[in-house]
């Protein structure tokens, strides 16, 4: 084994051994290791299989730029896919498995796929599987593709925190430049937050022998102390993954493996980007062989983890910074042979035990071949924020150009690779001054891909895109980088092209004979690294996401053994008692029809509208005429949208000349309130109309049924409840046991009903009184299911259930205001457009079926065409047969027609009838 | 996530706001005759400008409508004021 851990290097804790497994084999690492560094230390060379050809792959880099070592990791009882071995810190007991490989990365059964590479190039799938139908092939192809497996188990306790935070200065990156910038800004009294994605600050500083005469560990500790002493915060294991509008930066903070990371939404006054730079791969035949890796990756493995990737190494590098890395490795006792790319074409071979390099007919093997084609500044955040990039000929790289608002780039991210230059920029940026990119000592000899050259040369390691694929794309005229990307999938893997995009667009530039900056880059989009969706969910779930509304009578309902369910955001009794629900519901309907039912209608809207303009305002808001209402009257009506469709229905009560109560649908109160507010403030004088939603302040108990009056009389109110004195659709106010009481004689069941409203705190007292008094008369509490059946028997509709987004009031049989109302009202003009006058509109009807229940949602079919659908359907306990409501084309003129009802392949017959099945003359209602 | 300034509550996250419409759109007087074309324009035709836009938004927690001026390209907020007293 050539790779090994050596003493005297690294910021790891050798005293803490950690056991782990990879592809079923046990290994040992130490605290501070990543999965990748521990595997290299154990001599593991093959850490994954490529996406498409299943070629064996080794490590390329030491941090976020790694394209190959992707693993499914089990740890702390949690299994996570798509873990980058280089950024997953080792924990005791971890079990990792290479993705896309079985049984192991080293011996993958699908490795033979690579033999067919000649036929599997870019565009192969698009062209080959078109006939007869892509969907025939898709399942098998999808099964072969992909990186990792998502565990079907729910991750217990995997819940992300979401934090909102702000600071004056956010410094991204805790390397040389970031530390100095953060210190300068903090010492100048700014509220500074420094984030770094690694566990230990310092970036690539550990590769240096010393900084200002101090060891890197000592220097970093000094800076850290100064930053903290100046009052700044430091967040490690925290990645700035995206920059969004108005200075919002998305930060993801990782804890220990198995704990969900935390999302921090940071608002920063300004951002200093000190994100560093990456090594660029060189493009040459077989450059994806295990053991061909980045020079700075090898240097970092030594500097941070004390791991040497081998004893005999070759270095292929074309820039001046390579010297320092080579010196670091040589000082650690490594034998290094420098290969000059200019000496002739070269190709890699082997890889399993050692990696070979052939140049000008001379072949040699090494433990690893370290390459670097130059440095690429990490400018993702800069581009997220809308900053421009300039092409720099000296650096052969895109560097930050015109700055986005509030952002400054410093250090290697700015193309300033020399330490002294980086410090100067960082100090200036930290102090809030403009920075000037200084001239650089850095030199690089470009070694871009050579289109047309022989051999399989990898551009995108993670998505298996080769130089040939780029050439194919160019031949097919996918020459724009955005098209190139989508045709070849270049840069579309989970690493988002960190190592591949530059080579890809340089190749395209060469093919077209254009300069690189003219070809341009693809769009940089967040996130910079993959983030779990969990961070966006966080606490936004269940009760925290959609808190349920509670009835003041909930305890009473529970004591009565109510089955509680959610209806329109409220937790309400569906039925009472234990047993077969359909039987219990039928018994409730029967009791309410024969004697009396007690119903909790508290969620019914109670929006008060007051003021001198209230009448005119409501006359404009409602489809119906409101002006003619007298105090004490109730009126059933619709609110429309400006498109003329029904927005809400309900009963409006007039309490006085300037005082109304809008009793809108229970589930629609918030929407109606906003609707009223919008019209109140826009188009009206808001000082003459006042809107107050008192829905939750009042509880409403409805007594319904032939005995309703007798039950209500037991309260001993000073009101004449007789049919003559208290007519249907009127309202009276009084007091009961010292509390204001409003009684509306209005019905949703079709029977004589009183809705009694009282302040919420007195609800139980009222309910209990009515319940006790009514029980001897046969009264029983009824739930929402019984009420739904009763209203359907009567043909009363529920907006949103028996109407859809096109329903207008005349489709429901309410056409008088449309024909007669002269004053303007919301939606009026739309009721007279061509569509509104269409004879083939869907209209509300009833359906009768002698035999079977008609499923809700079933289509009414004639001539193989849907004529409408069933909106509500019940077995009617009162009538002893199924009933249904439906929306049907020209329904009102089709009463008596028999129509086919089709549902899930089954057809039955039903007869169209008027929507009212019970008491069409209203004798029960007006009793 | 953008920050919008409610004239009554100050800067808040955009998730607290609801777009109400472009500023300056007048409802035709439907007590008189309104042509299909005029009504259609009122319902469906938006200026949808590029750059400086003037819009009406509601800040949901306080329920107040206000005028927001912003740049639809750069997302920069130019300013906000109460809708009250606004003449179109």
Residue spans per domain, chain B: 3-26+38-82
Task: Assign residue A778 a region (left: φ > 0; alpha: ψ between -120 and 50; beta: otherwise).
Answer: left
Contact A246 B77 (CB under 8 A): yes
- Name residues of chain A where pLDDT drops below 70: 1, 145-146
Contact B43 A246 (CB under 8 A): no
How deeply is A533 buried, as exposed, middle or buried, from its count of CB atoms within 10 A (0-12, 13-18, 19+)? Answer: exposed
Q: Among all chains, which residue has been given the structure tokens 């472009």?
A: B22
User: For residues A382 and A390, is the Cβ–Cβ distance under 8 A?
Assistant: no
User: To 5 degrees, how large is the angle CA A421–CA A173–CA A190?
Assistant: 85
* The two three-digit tokens of residue A365, written as one number: 């093997």
Supply the pTM of this predicted model.
0.89
Contact B75 A248 (CB under 8 A): no
Contact B43 A822 (CB under 8 A): no
Per-residue pLDDT reduced to its tens digit, B51-77: 999 999 999 999 999 999 999 999 999
Q: Identify which of A267, A828, A833 has the shortest CB distance to residue B30.
A: A828
The answer to whether residue B88 scores a pLDDT higher than 60 is no
Measure the CA dihedral A286/A292/A296/A298, to 10°. Answer: 170
- Residue pairs between chains A and B whose CB atoms are closer than 8 Å: 54
- CB-based contact, A685 to chain B, within 8 Å: no
pLDDT (0 to 100) of residue A623? 98
User: For residues A43 and A291, is the Cβ–Cβ distance under 8 A?
Assistant: no
Contact B34 A686 (CB under 8 A): no
- CB-based contact, A439 to chain B, within 8 Å: no
* The two three-digit tokens of residue A547, written as one number: 């808190």
**Adjacency order of strands within the sheet including B17-22:** B17-22, B52-59, B64-71, B77-82
Contact B39 A830 (CB under 8 A): yes
Q: Which residues of A44-67 are buried (b: 16+ CB within 10 A; e: fewer)?
A: bbbbbbbbbbbbbbbbbbbbbbbb
User: To 5 degrees, how large is the angle CA A402–CA A406–CA A408?
Assistant: 60
Under 8 Å CB-to-CB from A162, ≥6 apart: which residues?
Answer: A262, A263, A264, A265, A535, A538, A539, A540
Contact A246 B34 (CB under 8 A): no
Distance, in angstroms, between A268 CA and closest chain B CA? 12
Contact A678 B3 (CB under 8 A): no
CA proximity to A384, closest of A198, A253, A239:
A239
Looking at domain B3-26+38-82, does it have CATH number 3.30.2270.10?
yes
pLDDT (0 to 100) of residue A693? 96
pLDDT (0 to 100) of residue A1? 44
- CB-based contact, B85 to chain A, within 8 Å: no
Which H helix or E strand runs over A518?
A: helix A516-519
Q: Identify which of B2, B20, B43 has the shortest CB distance to residue A678.
A: B20
- CB-based contact, B39 to chain A, within 8 Å: yes
Contact A674 B30 (CB under 8 A): no
User: For residues A435 and A421, is the Cβ–Cβ distance under 8 A?
Assistant: no
Contact B65 A681 (CB under 8 A): yes
Contact B1 A246 (CB under 8 A): yes
Mutate to test the interface with A, among B30, B33, B40 (most CBs of A within 10 A): B30
pLDDT (0 to 100) of residue A81? 87
Q: How far apart are CA A620 and CA A680, in angstroms?
A: 11
Distance, in angstroms, between B68 CA and closest chain A CA? 14
- CB-based contact, B23 to chain A, within 8 Å: no
Assign 3-state DSSP to chain B and report helix, strand, coil percentages, each to 5.
Answer: 15, 40, 45
- CB-based contact, A163 to chain B, within 8 Å: no
pLDDT (0 to 100) of residue A852? 83
Enter the DSSP assignment of A452: T
pLDDT (0 to 100) of residue A850? 76
Query: Can you list the positions of beta strands (E) in A245-361?
Result: 248-253, 262-273, 277-279, 292-294, 307-308, 312-317, 335-338, 346-350, 355-359
pLDDT (0 to 100) of residue A137? 80
Nearest CA in chain A to B22: A682
- CB-based contact, A820 to chain B, within 8 Å: no
**Using a CB-CB distance cutoff of 8 angstroms, which residues of chain B are in contact with residue A674?**
18, 58, 60, 63
How deeply is B33 buried, as exposed, middle or buried, from its count of CB atoms within 10 A (0-12, 13-18, 19+)? Answer: exposed
How deeply is A525 buried, as exposed, middle or buried, from its count of CB atoms within 10 A (0-12, 13-18, 19+)? Answer: exposed
Q: So what's the ipTM on this one?
A: 0.96
- CB-based contact, A625 to chain B, within 8 Å: no
Contact A246 B84 (CB under 8 A): no
């Amino acid at each position: 084994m050539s790779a090994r851990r050596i003493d005297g290097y690294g910021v790891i804790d050798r005293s803490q051994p950690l056991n782990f497994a990879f592809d079923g084999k046990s290994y040992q690492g130490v605290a501070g290791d990543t999965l990748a560094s521990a595997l290299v230390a154990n001599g593991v060379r093959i850490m994954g299989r490529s996406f498409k050809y299943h070629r064996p792959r080794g490590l390329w880099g030491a941090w976020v730029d790694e394209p190959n070592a992707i693993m499914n990791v089990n740890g702390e009882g949690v299994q996570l896919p798509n873990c980058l071995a280089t950024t997953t810190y080792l924990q005791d007991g971890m079990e990792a498995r290479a993705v896309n490989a079985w049984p192991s990365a080293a011996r993958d059964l699908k490795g033979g796929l690579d033999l067919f590479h000649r036929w599997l190039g870019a565009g192969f799938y698009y062209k080959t599987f078109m006939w007869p139908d892509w969907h025939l092939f898709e399942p098998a192809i999808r099964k072969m593709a992909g990186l990792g497996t998502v565990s079907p188990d729910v991750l217990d306790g995997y819940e992300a925190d979401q934090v909102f935070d702000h600071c004056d200065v956010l410094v991204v990156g805790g390397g040389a430049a970031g530390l100095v910038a953060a210190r300068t800004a903090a010492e100048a009294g700014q509220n500074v937050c420094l984030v770094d994605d690694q566990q230990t600050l310092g970036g690539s500083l550990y590769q240096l022998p010393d900084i200002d005469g101090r060891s890197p560990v000592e220097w970093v500790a000094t800076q850290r102390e100064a930053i903290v002493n100046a009052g700044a915060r430091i967040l490690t294991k925290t990645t700035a993954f995206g920059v969004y509008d108005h200075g919002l930066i998305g930060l993801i903070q990782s804890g220990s493996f198995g704990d969900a990371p935390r999302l921090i939404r940071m608002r920063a006054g300004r951002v200093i980007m000190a994100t560093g730079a990456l090594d660029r791969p060189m493009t040459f035949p077989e450059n994806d062989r295990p053991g061909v890796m980045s020079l700075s990756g090898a240097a970092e493995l030594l500097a941070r983890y004390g791991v040497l990737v081998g004893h005999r190494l070759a270095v292929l590098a074309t820039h001046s910074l390579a010297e320092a890395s080579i010196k670091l490795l040589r000082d650690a006792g490594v034998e290094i042979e420098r290969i000059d790319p200019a000496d002739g074409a070269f190709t890699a071979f082997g890889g399993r035990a050692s990696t070979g390099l052939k140049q000008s007919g001379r072949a040699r093997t090494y433990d690893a071949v370290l390459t670097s084609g130059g440095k690429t500044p990490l400018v993702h955040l800069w581009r997220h924020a809308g900053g421009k990039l300039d092409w720099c000929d000296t650096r052969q790289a895109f560097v930050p150009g015109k700055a986005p608002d509030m952002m400054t780039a410093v250090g290697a991210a700015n193309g300033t690779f020399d330490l002294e230059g980086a410090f100067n920029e960082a100090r200036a940026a930290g102090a809030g001054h403009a920075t000037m990119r200084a001239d650089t000592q850095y030199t690089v000899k470009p070694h871009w891909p050579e289109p047309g050259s022989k051999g399989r040369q990898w551009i995108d390691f993670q998505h298996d895109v080769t130089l040939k694929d780029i050439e194919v794309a160019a031949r097919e005229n996918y020459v724009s980088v955005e098209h190139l990307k989508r045709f070849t999938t270049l840069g579309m893997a989970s690493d988002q092209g960190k190592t591949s995009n530059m080579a890809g667009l340089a190749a395209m530039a060469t093919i077209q004979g254009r300069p690189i900056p003219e070809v341009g880059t693809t769009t940089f989009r967040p996130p910079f690294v993959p983030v779990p969706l969990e961070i966006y969910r966080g606490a936004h779930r269940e009760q925290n996401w959609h808190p349920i509304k509670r009835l003041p009578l909930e305890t009473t309902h529970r004591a009565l053994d109510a089955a509680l369910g959610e209806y329109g955001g409220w937790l309400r009794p569906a039925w009472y008692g234990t047993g077969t629900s359909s039987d219990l519901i039928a018994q409730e309907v029967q009791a309410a029809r024969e004697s009396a039912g007690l119903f909790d209608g508290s969620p019914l809207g109670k929006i008060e509208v007051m003021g001198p303009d209230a009448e005119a305002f409501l006359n404009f808001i409602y489809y119906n005429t409101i002006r003619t209402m007298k105090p004490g009257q109730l009126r059933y009506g619709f609110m429309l949208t400006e498109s003329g469709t029904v927005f809400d229905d309900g009963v409006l009560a007039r309490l006085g000349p300037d005082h109304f109560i809008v009793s809108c649908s229970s589930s629609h109160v918030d929407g109606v309130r906003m609707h009223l507010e919008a019209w109140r403030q826009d188009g009206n004088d808001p000082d003459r109309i006042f809107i107050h939603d008192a829905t939750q302040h009042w509880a409403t108990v409805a007594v319904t049924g032939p005995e309703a009056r007798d039950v209500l009389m037991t309260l001993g109110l000073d009101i004449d409840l007789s049919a003559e004195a208290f007519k249907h659709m009127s309202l009276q106010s009084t007091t009961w046991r010292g509390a204001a009481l409003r009684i509306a004689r209005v019905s949703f069941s079709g029977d004589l009903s009183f809705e009694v409203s009282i302040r919420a705190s007195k609800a139980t007292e009222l309910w209990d009184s009515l319940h006790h008094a009514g029980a001897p008369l046969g009264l029983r509490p009824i739930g929402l299911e019984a009420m739904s059946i009763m209203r359907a028997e009567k043909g009363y509709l529920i907006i949103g259930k028996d109407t859809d987004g096109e329903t207008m009031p005349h489709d429901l049989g309410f056409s008088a205001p449309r024909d007669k109302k002269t004053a303007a009202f919301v939606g009026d003009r739309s009721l007279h457009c061509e569509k509104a006058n269409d004879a083939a509109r869907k209209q509300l009807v009833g359906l009768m079926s002698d035999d079977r229940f008609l499923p809700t949602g079933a289509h009414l079919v004639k001539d193989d065409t849907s004529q409408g659908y069933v909106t509500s359907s019940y077995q009617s306990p009162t009538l002893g047969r199924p009933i249904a409501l439906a929306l049907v084309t020209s329904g009102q003129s089709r009463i008596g027609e028999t129509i086919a009802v089709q549902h899930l392949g089954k057809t039955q017959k039903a007869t169209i009838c008027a929507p009212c099945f019970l008491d069409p003359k209203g004798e029960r209602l007006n009793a | 996530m953008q920050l919008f300034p409610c004239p009554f509550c100050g800067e808040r996250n955009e998730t607290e706001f609801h777009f109400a419409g472009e500023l300056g759109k007048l409802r035709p007087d439907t007590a008189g005759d309104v042509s299909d074309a005029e009504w259609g324009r009122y319902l469906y035709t938006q200026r949808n400008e590029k750059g400086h836009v003037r819009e009406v938004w509601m800040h949901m927690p306080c329920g107040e409508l206000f005028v927001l001026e912003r740049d639809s390209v750069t997302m920069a907020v130019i300013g906000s004021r109460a809708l009250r007293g606004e003449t179109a």
